[in-house]
């Protein structure tokens, strides 16, 4: 059996991989997930180019991923390197966070959730190259769906962990650059969902884009990110020059689509609580650290921050 055979069965997923055959079938498709996919141009039409140069759109992408790896290592240290564990990767993309964990820990097993089947296909090929078909069958499961939708609800996620031999849920949930696409109320619901599927003492690492409560810093940080993208797609830094050359003429449409996406499609909420009451209201004003505490996490911290990029660390 190949890793591609393990990709989510359309019966339990959003139906995104199978276009509707008739008006009746249309009810099986999650409209929210379809709308989300329409915003994720880089994971649909440009999926094959995602690995060429992620640092062209996200400064410190490599350092952020190194930090995720170090945080996993720190969390697993007490259990010892050979202790088995199950982790969930939300917005797994082409494997930037899950592949190092699978490689570092031979006793780890993972469930990868992604709303874009294009990314799952690329991921399945990569994990198969590292683990082989038998390793993938034993250690990996895939859910093609929106983490805020039915296709990845807590029953589905717990069933997948059970299928990997751990009925009590996950030891670690990790996510990188995915949750900022959700609206504030969806983030609140997803944080509750994550708390429900984590075992007591389990760790959630959310490496993502976050805005600020400050009226001054919020627009400045967004502008910093947009200027960064603009520069890397026109006059790249040395580190991105090879990626820029590899993309060739695609840099022109991609630059514009990244800038449009950044401005229109990202929905970052602040980490911190209300330091500047009035700019935001409701859950957004509370900040994501407070949302995590309310969702049931005992300890919440921010071990990494660079403008809009950050990592939220939350222990259940």
Ligand X SMILES: C[S@@+](CC[C@H](N)C(=O)[O-])C[C@H]1O[C@@H](n2cnc3c(N)ncnc32)[C@H](O)[C@@H]1O
**Cβ 47 to ligand X, closest distance in Å?**
8
Counting every residue written for the chain, the total comes to: 316
Supply the minimum distance, in Å, between the C-beta of residue 291 and ligand X. Answer: 16
User: Which whole-number Å values give the CA distances from 18 to 2, 28, 59, 133, in the listed order?
Assistant: 20, 10, 35, 25
Nearer to ligand X, 197 or 213 (CB): 197
Is the CB of 91 or the CB of 287 nearer to ligand X? 91
Chain residue whose CB lies nearest ligand X: 93
Q: What is the residue whose two structure tokens read 């075992």?
A: 199
167 by Cβ neighbours in 10 Å (0-12 / 13-18 / 19+) ranks as exposed
Q: Which is nearer to ligand X, 175 or 213 (CB)?
A: 175
Q: How far apart are CA 207 and CA 205, in angstroms?
A: 6
Of the pair 37, 75, the CB lying nearest ligand X is at 37
- Residue 177 is a binding residue for ligand X (CB under 6 A): yes
> Nearer Cβ to ligand X, position 114 or 128?
114
Q: Is 36 in the site for ligand X (CB under 6 A)?
A: yes
Assess 136 for contact with ligand X (CB under 6 A): no
Distance of alpha carbon 220 from alpha carbon 147, whole angstroms: 30
Q: Does 308 bind ligand X (CB under 6 A)?
A: no
| Stretch touching ligand X by CB under 6 A, among 161-169, 178-186, 219-227, 269-277 | 178-186
Q: Please identify which residue in 119, 203, 247, 285 interacts with ligand X, judged by CB under 6 A.
A: 119
Q: According to the binding rule CB under 6 A, does residue 193 interact with ligand X? A: no
Q: Where are the alpha helices (H) located in the chain, listed in sequence order?
A: 31-39, 61-76, 98-104, 117-139, 154-163, 184-197, 217-232, 241-247, 251-264, 282-286, 288-295
SS3 state of residue 274: coil
Query: How far apart (Å, rounded) are the C-alpha atoms in residues 287 and 49?
Result: 33
Rounded CA gap, 113 and 236, in Å? 32
According to the binding rule CB under 6 A, does residue 188 interact with ligand X? Answer: no
Kindly list the residues in this chain that would bind ligand X in the complex (CB under 6 A).
36, 40, 43, 54, 91-93, 96-97, 113-116, 119, 146-148, 176-178, 181-182
């Amino acid at each position: 059996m190949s890793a591609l055979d393990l990709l989510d069965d359309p019966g339990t997923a959003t139906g995104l991989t199978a276009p509707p055959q008739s008006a009746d079938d249309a009810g099986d498709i999650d409209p929210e997930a379809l709308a989300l996919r329409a915003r994720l141009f880089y994971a649909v039409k440009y999926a094959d180019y995602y690995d060429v140069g992620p640092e062209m759109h996200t400064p410190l992408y490599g350092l952020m991923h190194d930090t995720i790896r170090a945080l996993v290592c720190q969390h697993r240290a007490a259990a010892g390197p050979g202790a088995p564990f199950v982790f969930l990767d939300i917005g797994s993309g082409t494997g930037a966070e899950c592949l190092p964990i699978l490689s570092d820990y031979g006793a780890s097993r993972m469930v990868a959730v992604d709303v874009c089947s294009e990314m799952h296909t690329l991921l399945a090929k990569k994990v198969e190259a590292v683990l082989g078909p038998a390793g993938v069958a034993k250690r990996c499961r895939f859910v093609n769906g929106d983490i805020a939708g039915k296709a990845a609800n807590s029953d589905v996620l717990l069933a997948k962990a059970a299928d990997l031999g751990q009925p009590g849920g996950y030891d670690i949930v990790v996510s990188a650059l995915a949750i900022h696409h959700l609206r504030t109320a969806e983030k609140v619901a997803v944080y509750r969902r994550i708390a429900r599927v984590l075992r007591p003492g389990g760790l959630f690492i959310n490496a993502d884009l976050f805005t600020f409560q400050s009226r001054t810093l919020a627009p400045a940080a967004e502008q910093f990110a947009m200027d960064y993208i603009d520069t890397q797609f026109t006059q790249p830094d040395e580190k991105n020059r090879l990626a820029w050359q590899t993309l060739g003429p695609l840099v022109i449409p991609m630059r514009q689509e990244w800038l449009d996406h950044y401005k229109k499609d990202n929905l970052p909420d602040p980490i911190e609580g209300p330091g500047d009451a009035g700019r935001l209201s409701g859950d957004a004003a509370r900040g994501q650290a407070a949302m995590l505490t309310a969702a049931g996490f005992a300890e919440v911290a921010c071990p990494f921050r660079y403008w809009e990029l950050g990592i939220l660390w939350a222990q259940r």
